[in-house]
Amino acid sequence: MRLLDKKTLIVVLVALASFAAGLLTTGAAANNRAETLRNLERFSRVYQKIIESYVEEEDSKELVDAAIEAMIDKLDPFSAYMDQAMLEDLLVKTKGEFGGLGIIISVRDDYPTVISPIEGTPAARLGIRGGDKIVRIEGESTKGWNVQDAVDKLRGPEGSVVDIGIQRFGSEEILPYHITRAIIPVESVPYHFVLEGDIGYIRCVNFGERTAEELRTAIASLETQGIEGLILDLRNNPGGLLESARDVSDLFLDPGQIIVSTRGRDGRRLQEIHASDNERFAGDYPLVVMINENSASASEIVAGAVQDWDRGLVVGRNSYGKGSVQSIFSISETEALKLTTAKYYTPSGRCIHKDENDERPDYDTDGDGIVTEAELEAIETAQLETPAESPIESQLPLYATLRLQRPVRGGGGIMPDIVLAADEISDQALDLERRSAFFNFAVELLAEHSVDRDFQVDAALLARFRAWLAAKEIAVAPADFSANEGYIRMALRREVLYKQFGAAEAYQSTLGMDRVLQETLGLLKDQHDLNALFATSGERGDDNSQKQ
């Protein structure tokens, strides 16, 4: 008869041992120490019996790994036990470089496929192209591999060599490549442009060690071109290093202004992070920060600091609400514990973090997936007219910005000053993307002839694409094709420019169909003064200072 489940026993053992060690080394209260020691002793006896008497001999490492995994599962989603591979991946994301070939890959037709080579890297210098299928790595077929499988094999130390086999469109031949890995920079700021109305645009995709430096360079470049406003696009930016959020915020804030604070389990303020004493780097032009539901962590710190100090407006959708602090504790030379130890608070005192079990009002009252200004106005009105102890008030507490005393909303994440929701992509368009129709058509087109930067999708090319879909037995009803013609034109142009000229040209070609960006651009084009920008937001019903 099995007296105890092995996983349960080991979980308790490791949990109690770790907890006891923490308490005993941090000087916890005597009663807590005594309770911990009793539990640890009780558990040690159980564990000893398992080791000595369990009917089957078990691998101790596997048992401990399972125990740790189960224990971490009891915590929040951001705590993790990190093995060597996870630590190396974290290093890549935060240090901003890795040893590799210099290609962006995805899976197409069951093989890892090059989307684009990165300019100046080994892959680009050897002539690897977008659309090339990587059919072999180190002599092994890659059919059925996912992206991570391929990345694990392609990355390696700088100076090491990897052999790959490439199959190019229109040929059955497998081309052998013997490539020496090099350090590949991971850009945080891949794009910056001057848009119409002399408005600067910067896309920031993560927060690593060089993000502030890259932003500084982009801002300086845009300012030399005479910009009169700036859009910082943090949509879908998952965040990264706290130090990077500090340094990025520092570019826009005045000396000494608080950027973010942290509080631990007892609610006490553990740390305050302030802007440096140096003069603010960015000019006095109006600033708009764009966020959405996938903007998290460092993105929320920057957006919250800009909003709370009235340095600019925040537009888009309510951010993710990942405002917890993870500390890395070394366990061994190759393993570490990433543990949530505190939460972030904006300068006005709003907690950025939204726990999974927290509840919020449903802004989308009609269930159409888009939060309209009317829906947001209804929530605000209910909040302002309801007694302080009401559920709405407790879920959406009001705070005040620090310069203009504009009301801003708490409740987790960063609530924009102006709510703008992106247009939904139709199911038909998504199906074409999922089936790589735009990508594969562009590969075939460019195999015939190159294009210039003024390339447009005219009626003849659109008709050719429809015929190509039919030949590939990809069914699209005529009415659906017509309804999605605008998106189809954009997607085809994007893929062709991507393969011919690279990511920057392709990305810029899509901006005209980005409704949220276009509306944001409209806010700034005629408002070259920050206070005028705030007044404009008030006219839209998003500045509620007169309602208090």
Question: Tokens representing 276?
Answer: 């440096």
Instruction: Strands of 55-160 (E only): list them.
Output: 80-82, 97-100, 103-108, 111-117, 133-137, 140-141
Question: Tokens representing 69?
Answer: 């995994």
Give alpha helix (H) positions in 99-209: 122-125, 147-154
Q: Identify the burial level of 378 via C-beta atoms within 10 angstroms of its C-beta, where 0-12 means exposed, 13-18 middle and 19 or more buried.
A: middle
Element of type H or E holding 215: helix 211-224
Active-site annotation holder among 233, 308, 417, 542:
308
- CA–CA separation, 344 vs 325, rounded Å? 7
- CA–CA separation, 325 vs 301, rounded Å? 12
- CA–CA separation, 60 vs 47, rounded Å? 11
Active-site annotation holder among 244, 247, 322, 542:
322
207 with 299: CB under 8 angstroms? yes
Query: How do beta strands 229-233 and 199-203 pair?
Result: parallel
What residues pair up with 167 in beta bridges, in sequence order? 133, 174
**Catalytic annotation present for 299:** no
- CA–CA separation, 212 vs 232, rounded Å? 13
**Catalytic annotation present for 233:** no
**Catalytic annotation present for 308:** yes
Residue numbers annotated as active site: 297, 308, 322
